[in-house]
Amino acid sequence: MKTLKIHVTKEDIEKGKQQHCPINRALRRLGFRRVYVSCRQCKLRSEWIDLPANAIRFINKFDNGKPVSPFTFTLKVP
């Protein structure tokens, strides 16, 4: 299993939308092309991976129109 640090930037937040959220944008920057992010998981390379608590909180805030800031989280990718 590989561990990746995902950096969600200010630009990701500014350009993000609910269907193409900042976390999705950050993962695409790392070269993942087929990315789907739900409220608790993300799908990479046809596998669902649980998101850490700080990423879930970010998504909930972003989706509900609350202010969010750039942050970093770790994702374990098979």
Write down the domain spans for the chain: 2-77
Measured from the Cβ of residue 13, the count of other Cβ atoms closer than 10 Å reads: 20
Phi-psi region of 50 (alpha: psi -120 to 50; beta: other; left: phi over 0): beta
3-state secondary structure of 9: coil
- Confidence bin at 44 (pLDDT 50/70/90): confident
* pLDDT tens digit sequence for 7-39: 999 999 999 987 779 999 999 999 988 888 888
| Residues constituting the chain | 78
Residue 56's pLDDT is what?
95
Cα distances from 32 to residues 23, 42, 43, in angstroms, run: 12, 11, 10
Structure tokens belonging to residue 4 = 């990746």
